[in-house]
Amino acid sequence: MSVAEKARQKSRASPYIVDDRERGLFRVARTTFIDEEILAQERDKIFNRCWLYLGHKSELPNPNDFLTRNVGGKEVIFNRDRKGVFRAFMNTCPHRGAMVERQARGNALAFRCFYHGWAFNNNGNFATRMQAGTYPEDFNSDGCANLRSVPKLAEYAGFYFLNYDAGAVSLDSYLADARSILDLLSQHGPEGVEVIGGEQKYSIRANWKLLMENSYDGYHAVDTHGTYFEYLADAIGGPAEMPTETFVWDLKNGHAAIEGNAPWGRPVAKWIPAWGEQAKTEVEDIKRELVARVGEEQANRIAVLGRNTGIFPNLVLNDIMAVTVRTFYPLSPGNMNISAWALGVTGESEAFRKRRLDNFLEFLGPGGFATPDDVEALESAQRGYAAVDEVAWNDISRGMLKSKFDATDEEQMRCFWREWADRMEDQK
């Protein structure tokens, strides 16, 4: 089959996307960002079927630890039972619905619903004795009074995911090549990585898919974040230019990453003069340990190159001047909640931890020198989509006909949208 024929076969045109492989054109319908009906279908076909990020193992260091969070729009308890086994339950009382745990985190042998007092062991089993005759003899023989476990819970390299579809494929096959990114992250330190104190919870008045696009959009950096690069140039005492050689990884199943060497310092392990001579020795030691443990090539990817990764549908792992884990969920077509964490190397010194957090804050989060401008861009686009009748399509064709993609192309977004359209059009 000729190249042109292959391109023709892979092309598609649907109400949602136009993927014209011959001409090198990719369009996304703006209705996908504003339509209530499309959001209802996304809840059904995407959020109720895909593996969703739940948390990192370091957040529950001890048996009986628990935390509560909203995953895919539903309240969940993520905990470890008395034996230390990781578990996840729907945080709703099987009696009449109240949340059985309302604290953000803690350590508990059991959960007790405050409404009528039903209690549950931290393995989910109903643990209240009722007076004989109150309920039928065989009450709970079907488990109706136990906490409901999430249909599927699985872990890869310390990252826990859940799935609301009991028939879903395994996490390993779902993550496909994105596993290599989780491997890289978990190898940053000899004892792995951990979530650092606190979760940034904020929101953006824009469609959730815009944040996925933005999180690995190498094209916008220079224009949107010019003021950040001006700051960075002063901080590193030299020009702050983005790399000329970059990579784009199609990690399958809608996951993708961009990779390259950037001008900022990296706690693991790329020194910049602003950190001083003492830090230089420390960074060299970290690099040496890394090379010894994972080999030269992998060490170079961890220490020098950074990457922005999107795991379908709503997990972002950006390993840039700091490492952030970010997930988000739509409240409505034009509004999403975001949760973001910082990852650090387990056992790193306090000075290094401070440097890492400083790096995080110079760019990332609601008070950083970059994220607020991304928020403005997304909200501005969302307002623009009200003109959907006049301007119906977004264009993400950039670099589509190239044989090797750059981070400033839009291939990573096309990976996302092909998967999104497959699922929405029941082709998956």
Partner 1 sequence: MSSVTQDIISSQVQSLSQAEIEAFLFEEAAMLDEWRLDDWFALFLEGAIYEVPQAGASDEASSSRNLFYISDNYFRLRHRVERLKKPGNHSEWPRSVCSRLIGNVRVLGAEGGNYIAKSKFITHRSKNDITDMFCGHHMYKLKLIDGHIRIAEKRTQIDMNTLRPQGRISIVV
Footprint of ligand FES (CB under 6 A) = 93, 95-98, 113, 115-118
Q: Is 337 in the site for partner 1 (CB under 8 A)?
A: yes
Between CA 428 and CA 420 the distance in angstroms is: 10
In sequence order, which residues have a C-beta less than 8 Å from that of residue 3 and are 6 or more positions away? none
> Which residue matches tokens 């589509």?
400
Nearer to partner 1, 5 or 234 (CB): 234
Instruction: Give the shortest CB-278-to-partner 1 separation in angstroms.
Output: 16
379 contact choice in ligand FES, partner 1, Fe ion, none (CB below 5 to 8 Å, kind-dependent) = partner 1
Q: Is 102 in the site for partner 1 (CB under 8 A)?
A: no
Q: What are the distances in angstroms from CA 162 to CA 196, 216, 231, 268?
A: 22, 24, 40, 29
Q: Is 196 in the site for partner 1 (CB under 8 A)?
A: yes
Nearer to partner 1, 14 or 227 (CB): 227
Could you say which of 7, 34, 240, 357 contacts partner 1 (CB under 8 A)?
357
Q: Is 226 in the site for partner 1 (CB under 8 A)?
A: yes
CB atoms within 10 A of CB 11: 14
Between CA 286 and CA 279 the distance in angstroms is: 10
DSSP characters over 182-222: HHHHHTSSTT-EEEEEEEEEEEESS-HHHHHHHHT-TTSHH
Nearest 5°: CA angle at 235, between 219 and 351? 110
Scanning 51-59, 124-132, 197-205, 390-398 for contacts with partner 1 by CB under 8 A, the matching segment is 197-205
Identify whether the C-beta of residue 321 lies closer than 8 Å to the C-beta of residue 311. Answer: no
Nearer to Fe ion, 42 or 374 (CB): 374
Identify whether the C-beta of residue 295 lies closer than 8 Å to the C-beta of residue 274. Answer: no
Task: Tell me the site size for partner 1, rule CB under 8 A.
Answer: 41
Alpha-carbon radius of gyration of the chain: 23
Q: Is 140 in the site for partner 1 (CB under 8 A)?
A: no
Nearer to ligand FES, 95 or 301 (CB): 95
Q: Is 204 in the site for partner 1 (CB under 8 A)?
A: yes
Scanning 27-35, 45-53, 61-69, 352-360 for contacts with partner 1 by CB under 8 A, the matching segment is 352-360
361 contact choice in partner 1, Fe ion, ligand FES, none (CB below 5 to 8 Å, kind-dependent) = partner 1
Between CA 360 and CA 326 the distance in angstroms is: 13
Nearer to ligand FES, 79 or 309 (CB): 79
Between CA 246 and CA 263 the distance in angstroms is: 13
97 contact choice in partner 1, ligand FES, Fe ion, none (CB below 5 to 8 Å, kind-dependent) = ligand FES
263 contact choice in ligand FES, partner 1, Fe ion, none (CB below 5 to 8 Å, kind-dependent) = none
Written as six digits, the tokens of 332 are: 């409505």
Instruction: Give the shortest CB-372-to-Fe ion separation in angstroms.
Output: 10
Between CA 89 and CA 49 the distance in angstroms is: 17
96 contact choice in partner 1, Fe ion, ligand FES, none (CB below 5 to 8 Å, kind-dependent) = ligand FES
Between CA 82 and CA 64 the distance in angstroms is: 6
| Per-residue binder mask for Fe ion (CB under 5 A), 368-387, x = binder | ------x-------------
Instruction: Give the shortest CB-197-to-partner 1 separation in angstroms.
Output: 4
Between CA 338 and CA 288 the distance in angstroms is: 36
176: left (phi over 0), alpha (psi -120 to 50) or beta: left
Q: Is 165 in the site for partner 1 (CB under 8 A)?
A: no
What residues are paired with 345 via a beta bridge? 193
Q: Is 173 in the site for partner 1 (CB under 8 A)?
A: no
Between CA 428 and CA 404 the distance in angstroms is: 27
Q: Where are the beta strands (DSSP E) in 292-383?
A: 305-311, 315-319, 323-332, 335-345
240 contact choice in ligand FES, Fe ion, partner 1, none (CB below 5 to 8 Å, kind-dependent) = none
| Per-residue binder mask for partner 1 (CB under 8 A), 369-388, x = binder | x-xxx-xxx-x---x-----
Footprint of partner 1 (CB under 8 A): 196-205, 224, 226-227, 230-231, 234-235, 335, 337, 341-342, 350, 353-354, 357-358, 360-362, 365-367, 369, 371-373, 375-377, 379, 383
Footprint of Fe ion (CB under 5 A): 374
